[in-house]
Structure 1
Amino acid sequence: MTLPALAHPTNPDLLPLLGRTPIARIRTPLPQPQPGFWAKLECLGAGGMKARSAVAMLRGAHARGELLPGATVVESTSGTLGVGLAFAGQALGHPVVLIGDAELEPPMQQLLRSYGAKLEIVDRPAEHGGWQAARLTRLHEVLARLPGAYWPDQYNNPDNAAGYHAMALEIIGEIDHLDTLVCSVGTGGHSAGLVEPLRRHWPALRVIGVDSIGSAIFGQPARKRLMRGLGSSIHPRNVAYQAFDEVHWIGPAEAVDACRRLARGCFVSGGWSTGAVALVAAWAARNGNGATVATVFPDGPHRYLGTIYDDTYCQAHNLSPEHAASHPVEIPFPAAAEVTGWARCRTVVDPLEARQ
């Protein structure tokens, strides 16, 4: 590995490009007709959704003296945070080293390198904790080789959530009322960052978390996951379990079907997380007795042209529409049964606390 130079120019002109993304009304049938919901289009923001959290984490570390001028930033990523950190690194003057894995799409690897990030790729998942655990092991090895480097620790850093407070204020300024917020959950940052300011403004707000099947976040067993960008094989401490009224688990067939319906029906689409939250937001709008529903589309479709939008890939992984559930099954508590497709649960607990 070639170590990045310590001197790194800052480009503060990038910072005014952060956030202020548009919000769209989505009325596409998903899969049944639905009255419509609001979607914050984070794919249209510079650096993507996670540029918000990346800038907040680096600024917080600056303020505490944990990140020195020009020091290297090292982080694990499945892709989206990597783009955000590349943006933050350029804006604030820090070299960025990203730890990815062999399932990180080649176009995303090329994009991250084009943005100036250095990539280290792990080639096999850990026996316990999968790709995330393997990336974290490599991350600590890289930190040991780079004295003075800073690890934001997106999974447990409260500045991750704080980076989304501005998005909450944007939402408040864009719609008159909100009854239900639907959030994908990975690190837990954007859901935790949105809920507090939105509930101060709308105290009765309901919050639905959206996870991937095979994810351990809400108490299901960790399994190999096809979907990236939501879900986790570990338990991030940024997840605000007490904030959620219910959780839905979505399978890849449902996410693909939703993404493709969005692309055909309203021109606005994205990746696994976007398909998952769109499906649940449409369900909430359809079953909400007139409730106003909003969600966040974290990214756009371009990263997924070889997966979600590729017929050969979808056929090879049995992701055709006939394999997609049209409604969720309900389980009484997270450990009641292992879910393999769209499911919901109205009992939300921190699985680590539940074991004690």
Structure 2
Amino acid sequence: MSALVHEHVTDAIKTPSLIRLEPNVVLIRFETLKVYAALGAVRSLLAGGSVRKGQTLIDSSSGIYALALAMACHRYGLRCHIVASTTVDLTMRSQLEILGATVDQMPPSDDLRLDQRRRVARVRELLDRHPDMHWMRQYHDPVHYLGYAEVADLVARALPSGPLTVVGSVGTGASTGGIARSLRERDPDVRLTGVQPFGSVTFGSERFTDPDAIIAGIGSAIPFDNVDHELYDRIHWLDFVHAMAATVGLMREHAVFAGLSTGAAYLVAGWEAARHPDRTHVVIGADTGHRYTARVFSRHREAVDPATLAPREIASLDDLALPWAAMDWRRRRFGKPSLPLYRKERAS
């Protein structure tokens, strides 16, 4: 059998593996999922004349988008500047710098909300100084949805027809939203279940504090325009202890070394799949586990058994509570007054 020769590493690393974890649970495992977002966005911007070769693209990132954007810039002859979260480690930073990206990293902080606000402020400061830079706005520009149509095509070709549910961390909203939108063009009944950490503003859990939570990449401390709340059928909120248990459990049970968001989605998909055996549940595995070695995998002896964990079903955000809650979102806008997101009148 002849092997395919790729013209650039981005074509090689973006291709996922589909792994059956249970009869109705399939993991779509990526080395780095956001290569699809970065490539799709950069190609579209170049084709439309919004950016040109040699120009500097700038954005804020907690890690995997930064690497994906640096690789896309490497491929298409663009410069790259990353305003990096304090959570970006030496391994990631070294890769970025070798790829030619310049890196502005935020100072150490235990407050990831402050870290996110600092990054946005720094991007704006740099744009004021260098107006020729193009801000990619991965959190807000819908151009990042485009690349995920290719992922939806892969899923549609690989899996037999039938009821399908996509399960993944919400993050910027582009991956889960882009995949679900494209799949729904074929079958409007495709369901989307989103996963959130406590402390994220995206689906109303910002009043909670989870001291160990790694919010970056899964939730958000600021509103993201790329999150289309009306795409989601169900939402699950998990604390760090549950996400860690599932991430370690995924490796124990299936030998899959994946990131924290993958573990959280795996736990949620298992719960949903047991209650909806007629539906195939596709778990989005956004990245590998390397950047979670110290915070998650080195603590594997502390991890609880995922089989002992269960969510609290809620009907209102008033009832939201740690450590794991689940709610039928029913493709609603966030904070729509006529629906029971909150029992009391509250501003969203």
Letter in 2 for 1:25: R
Within the candidate set 58, 61, 64, 1:74 is matched to 58
Which segment is superposed worse, 342-351 or 233-242?
Answer: 342-351
User: Deviation per CA, 1:43-70, whole angstroms, max 9, x where unpaired?
Assistant: 2xxxx21011111112222233221221
Query: What residue in structure 1 maps to residue 225 of structure 2?
Result: 237
User: Deviation per CA, 1:5-61, whole angstroms, max 9, x where unpaired?
Assistant: xxxxxx96345436332211013xxxxxxx440111112xxxx21011111112222
Q: Structure 1 residues 109 and 206 mapped into 2: Cα distance closer, same or farther (>3 Å)?
A: same
Secondary structure class of the residue paired with 2:127: helix
The CA deviation at 1:143 is 2.0
Query: What residue in structure 1 maps to residue 78 of structure 2?
Result: 94
User: Deviation per CA, 1:149-204, whole angstroms, max 9, x where unpaired?
Assistant: 11110111111111100000010010003421112101000111111221122222
CA distance in 2, matches of 1:300, 1:141: 33
Query: What residue in structure 1 maps to residue 341 of structure 2?
Result: none
Listed as ranges, the matches of 1:173-188 within 5 Å are 173-177=157-161, 178-188=163-173
Q: Answer whether contact 2:86 2:108 (CA < 8 A) is retained.
A: yes
Secondary structure class of the residue paired with 2:47: helix
Letter in 2 for 1:114: I
CA distance in 2, matches of 1:222, 1:42: 32
Q: Answer whether contact 2:40 2:147 (CA < 8 A) is retained.
A: yes
Query: Please, what is the CA RMSD of the aligned residues?
Result: 2.5
Q: Structure 1 residues 100 and 352 mapped into 2: Cα distance closer, same or farther (>3 Å)?
A: farther
| 1:333 matched to 2:316 | yes
CA distance in 2, matches of 1:301, 1:240: 28
| 1:281 matched to 2:263 | no
Letter in 1 for 2:323: G
Query: What residue in structure 2 maps to residue 347 of structure 1?
Result: 329
Q: Structure 1 residues 338 and 290 mapped into 2: Cα distance closer, same or farther (>3 Å)?
A: closer
The CA deviation at 1:99 is 0.7
Letter in 2 for 1:271: G
Gaps of 5+ in 2: 1-5, 338-346
Q: Answer whether contact 1:184 1:191 (CA < 8 A) is retained.
A: yes
Query: What residue in structure 1 maps to residue 249 of structure 2?
Result: 261
CA distance in 2, matches of 1:265, 1:126: 32
Secondary structure class of the residue paired with 2:297: coil
The CA deviation at 1:222 is 5.5
CA distance in 1, matches of 2:249, 2:104: 35
Q: Answer whether contact 2:260 2:289 (CA < 8 A) is retained.
A: no
Gaps of 5+ in 1: 1-10, 28-34
Q: Structure 1 residues 71 and 345 mapped into 2: Cα distance closer, same or farther (>3 Å)?
A: same
Q: Structure 1 residues 328 and 347 mapped into 2: Cα distance closer, same or farther (>3 Å)?
A: same
Q: Answer whether contact 2:81 2:102 (CA < 8 A) is retained.
A: yes
Within the candidate set 229, 238, 250, 1:250 is matched to 238
Query: What residue in structure 2 maps to residue 85 of structure 1?
Result: 69
Within the candidate set 201, 212, 217, 2:202 is matched to 217
CA distance in 1, matches of 2:174, 2:264: 17
Letter in 2 for 1:231: G
The CA deviation at 1:303 is 1.5
User: Deviation per CA, 1:236-276, whole angstroms, max 9, x where unpaired?
Assistant: 11112111111001111111111111112211131111111
Listed as ranges, the matches of 1:21-170 within 5 Å are 21-27=16-22, 35-43=23-31, 48-123=32-107, 129-170=113-154
CA distance in 2, matches of 1:231, 1:111: 25
Sequence identity (%): 26
Q: How many residues align?
A: 329
User: Deviation per CA, 1:302-324, whole angstroms, max 9, x where unpaired?
Assistant: 1211111112xx78xxx641799
